[in-house]
Amino acid sequence: MKALTINESGWCDVALHCPSPHFNQRPCGSDISLLVIHNISLPPGQFGGGFINQLFLGCLDCNYHPFFEQLQGLEVSAHFMISRDGQLTQYVSTAERAWHAGVSCFDTIANCNDYSIGIELEGTDTLAYTDVQYRSLTSLTKSIQRRYPLITTQRVTGHCDIAPGRKTDPGKIFDWQRFKSGL
């Protein structure tokens, strides 16, 4: 895979750019210092179909599937999403605050959206991620760490760790050792 680059505007050169309306400015003085790994599938356990894009872009038809009814009015985004086939999509500039973490805390500092970058993996807590997802995630993480050196390997975490009891992703099936040994 080609080495990825995050430019000064916070956009990845090889990602598909799908700008989300669900973002805002980071608070003044917020140093980008955390990377949060998530998972998502819509409907749960189903892949493809474009529903994740629709959710992050604010155009999901909540009448299409019964599960989607609970997503009505939800404004959520991530900086990146990696599909099952390794395709990298970017929704929000890394310089901006995406709305991925919700109520959260890392190392006693609340509001992780203020200082983090969020990466969604298309998947579930219980289904193994694909080899190409791990390769894409590793390459993307390295480029993020080059752009934001405060994101050390110790400051790469799961949604489950910043919102315990509320979130479980990326799940126990996620191979942290495999991922972090590649960094």
Domain limits of the chain? Answer: 16-41+77-181
Arithmetic mean of pLDDT over the chain: 96
pLDDT at 22 over 80: yes
Q: How high is the pLDDT of residue 69?
A: 95
| DSSP 8-state assignment for residue 4 | P
- What distances in angstroms separate CA 16 from CA 72, 133, 157, 168, 182, one per listed residue? 26, 15, 24, 27, 24
Rounded to whole angstroms, what are the CA distances from 169 to 27, 54, 158, 176? 26, 20, 6, 12
pLDDT for 102 beyond 60? yes
Judge whether residue 23 has pLDDT over 70: yes
Q: Which residues contact 115 (CB under 8 A, 6 or more apart)?
A: 26, 30, 31, 32, 33, 34, 109
Average pLDDT on 155-163 reads 98
Kindly list the catalytic residues: 120
Find the mean pLDDT for residues 144-158.
Answer: 98
Least Cα distance to 13 among 27, 2, 29, 21 occurs for: 2
Task: Please compute the mean of the pLDDT values over residues 127-142 and round it to a whole number.
Answer: 98
Q: Count Cβ atoms below 10 Å from residue 47 Cβ, excluding itself.
A: 16
The pLDDT score that the predictor gives to residue 3 is 78
Class of domain 16-41+77-181: alpha beta
Q: What pLDDT sits at residue 1?
A: 52
Whether 2 shows a pLDDT value over 90: the answer reads: no
pLDDT at 7: 96
